[in-house]
């Protein structure tokens, strides 16, 4: 059941908003003990559903009115805790809603709860959460990816109709790939970051995770736009001034011949030896599908990608060290008991409140910004990001979009996470370059391993080409035989919609 089908059921009175919400709440109660996607279930969800039903009955439903959604737990909500999966913010309840939350409330969407994540969005496994470890619906012995693993797992398992996540270096696209759903990272500035607890401000972006690209587009339309609280957000007229070859979505969806003249680039550096053979075959098969639909597919080289991972971790960690300095035990969040003096208050509060991954990145970022190292590390990474933007810009002079794997491998066992963090960081090679260049990028399922694990195809576009790459994904999804997680069969025995 995608959002469009649920919309039709609600508007035709096949089901009420309250009945739909109860259905999902029942699923969460029964099945989330297997997955561990939700950190907090919203006690006000049925009240919101009843309010949505009044709007439906009045004949004024919006696209997301009455639709049950999940929210990553770094998005501020006045009626639910926002913990960022950290002890540092245990029990913290913000005094305001994030801009995206406010926009969804304005449509009377129903929030089912807050979803698990890697602590402060730093991780690729959703195993660094202080509260619980999330499991992959396709294989509960494997990770769901991260940091938006709770969001991807909840959508994959059918515990919510769709969800919002955040993507700093791949935190929407990689878990979407691991969990067999569609996840979209919008162009930087397309969606306000106001109320999203900051990790790396120049890279963070909120985006949708859903069953399909069409649902992602509905969510994007609901939350995108200029926000006076975020000066990096853009108005529609500003976006329209950016040169961009966008085609008509309905034509692509209904007529494969519309792909005639479309040029797609396969990124050479992201199909190398570090990519699993099953992943490579699935992505090349997807590229062949686009060729059969009329597109021209060629290999393209972006040499700066060889240095994208270290550049990303230097920039993101430097910004994290600054953003997380606010958690000092003075104003809000965790505070150590009975410190002897001010320095001990800060030191013990941060030692107790942060997990090891957060501490590691704060230390790395602080080191990179130190006097004597700033030019050698941070500024060199910034220059590399500039080179990457230039190479992408040149590629988009020729190609309408670029194709690659969303991850070098499918989901890996949760008991086989590398002890060396650098090895885990290298697994982000496919996703970190789009944030460094501020580009829109998405992951959609394109195949499965011999063990039945999903493989994600990543489609990256030029700035403001969000709807274009969603159209390309939607076109592919129309003919792709998508599978549900094995647990879906057991869930259906208890009754479906």
- Taking alpha carbons only, the member of 172, 275, 191 closest to residue 234 is 191
Cβ atoms of 73 and 3 closer than 8 Å:
no
The one catalytic residue in 16, 86, 129, 147 is 147
Phi and psi angles of residue 191, each rounded to the nearest 5 degrees, phi first: -125, 135
Alpha carbons 216 and 224: distance in angstroms, whole number? 12
Q: Which residues pair with 184 in a beta bridge?
A: 442
Cβ atoms of 374 and 366 closer than 8 Å:
no
Radius of gyration of the chain (CA): 22
Report the CATH number of the 1-497 domain. Answer: 3.90.1300.10
State the pairing for strand pair 68-72/110-115.
parallel
Alpha carbons 383 and 387: distance in angstroms, whole number? 6
State the pairing for strand pair 454-460/441-448.
antiparallel
Phi and psi angles of residue 379, each rounded to the nearest 5 degrees, phi first: -65, -35
The one catalytic residue in 156, 171, 407, 471 is 171
Cβ atoms of 400 and 468 closer than 8 Å:
yes
Q: Determine whether 72 is an active site residue.
A: yes
- Taking alpha carbons only, the member of 183, 403, 156, 399 closest to residue 279 is 403
Q: What is the pLDDT along the chain (497 residues), one digit of tens a residue?
A: 899 999 999 999 999 999 999 999 999 999 999 999 999 999 999 999 999 999 999 999 999 999 999 999 999 999 999 999 999 999 999 999 999 999 999 999 999 999 999 999 999 999 999 999 999 999 999 999 999 999 999 999 999 999 999 999 999 999 999 999 999 999 999 999 999 999 999 999 999 999 999 999 999 999 999 999 999 998 766 665 544 444 444 455 445 557 889 999 999 999 999 999 999 999 999 999 999 999 999 999 999 999 999 999 999 999 999 999 999 999 899 999 999 999 999 999 999 999 999 999 999 999 999 988 999 999 999 999 999 999 999 999 999 999 999 999 999 999 989 888 999 999 999 999 999 999 999 999 999 999 999 999 999 999 999 999 999 999 999 999 999 999 888 887 777 77
Two structure tokens written together for 125: 């496994």
- Say what the pTM is: 0.96
The one catalytic residue in 16, 72, 166, 177 is 72
Alpha carbons 85 and 126: distance in angstroms, whole number? 9
List, as one string, the DSSP characters of 225-240: S-BTTBTT---HHHHH
The DSSP code for 196 is B
């Amino acid at each position: 059941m995608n959002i469009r089908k649920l919309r039709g059921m609600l508007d035709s009175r096949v089901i009420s908003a309250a009945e739909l919400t109860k259905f999902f709440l029942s699923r969460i109660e029964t099945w989330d003990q297997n997955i561990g996607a939700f950190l907090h279930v919203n006690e006000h969800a049925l009240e919101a559903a009843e309010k949505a039903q009044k709007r439906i009955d009045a004949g004024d439903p919006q696209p997301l009115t009455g639709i049950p959604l999940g929210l990553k737990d770094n998005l501020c909500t006045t009626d639910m805790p926002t913990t960022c999966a950290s002890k540092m913010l245990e029990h913290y309840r913000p005094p305001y809603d994030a801009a995206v939350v406010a926009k969804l409330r304005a449509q009377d969407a129903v929030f089912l709860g807050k979803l698990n994540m890697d602590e402060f969005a730093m991780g690729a496994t959703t195993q660094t959460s202080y509260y619980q470890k999330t499991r992959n619906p396709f294989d509960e012995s494997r990770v769901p990816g991260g940091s938006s693993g709770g969001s991807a797992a909840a959508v994959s398992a059918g515990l919510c109709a769709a969800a919002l996540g955040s993507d700093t270096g791949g935190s929407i696209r990689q878990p979407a790939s691991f969990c067999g759903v569609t996840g979209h990272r919008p162009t930087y500035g397309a969606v306000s970051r106001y109320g999203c607890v900051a990790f790396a401000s120049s890279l963070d972006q909120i985006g949708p995770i859903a069953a399909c690209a069409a649902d992602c587009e509905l969510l994007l339309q609901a939350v995108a736009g200029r926000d006076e609280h975020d000066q990096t957000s853009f108005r529609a007229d500003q976006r329209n001034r950016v040169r961009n070859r966008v085609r008509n979505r309905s034509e692509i969806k209904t007529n494969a011949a519309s792909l005639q003249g479309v040029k797609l680039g396969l990124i050479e550096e992201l199909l190398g030896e570090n990519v699993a053979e099953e992943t490579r075959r699935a992505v090349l098969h997807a590229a062949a599908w686009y060729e059969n639909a009329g597109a021209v597919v060629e290999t393209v080289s972006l040499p700066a990608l060889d240095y994208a991972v270290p550049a990303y971790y230097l920039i993101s960690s430097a910004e994290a060290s600054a953003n997380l300095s606010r958690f000092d035990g003075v104003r809000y969040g965790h505070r150590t008991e009975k410190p002897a003096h001010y320095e001990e208050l800060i030191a013990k509060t941060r030692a107790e409140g942060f997990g090891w991954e957060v501490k590691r990145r704060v230390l790395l970022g602080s080191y990179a910004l130190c006097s004597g190292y700033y030019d050698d590390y941070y500024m060199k990474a910034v220059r590399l990001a500039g080179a990457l933007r230039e190479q992408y810009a040149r590629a988009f002079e020729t190609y309408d979009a670029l194709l690659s794997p969303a991850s070098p491998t499918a989901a890996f066992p949760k008991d086989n996470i590398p002890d060396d963090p650098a090895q885990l960081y290298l697994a982000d090679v496919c996703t970190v370059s789009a944030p460094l260049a501020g580009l829109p990028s998405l992951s959609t399922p394109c195949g499965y391993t011999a063990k039945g694990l999903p493989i994600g195809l990543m489609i990256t576009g030029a700035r403001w080409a969000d709807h274009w790459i969603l159209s390309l994904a939607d076109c592919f999804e129309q003919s792709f035989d998508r599978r549900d997680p094995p647990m879906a069969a057991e869930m259906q025995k208890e009754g479906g919609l």
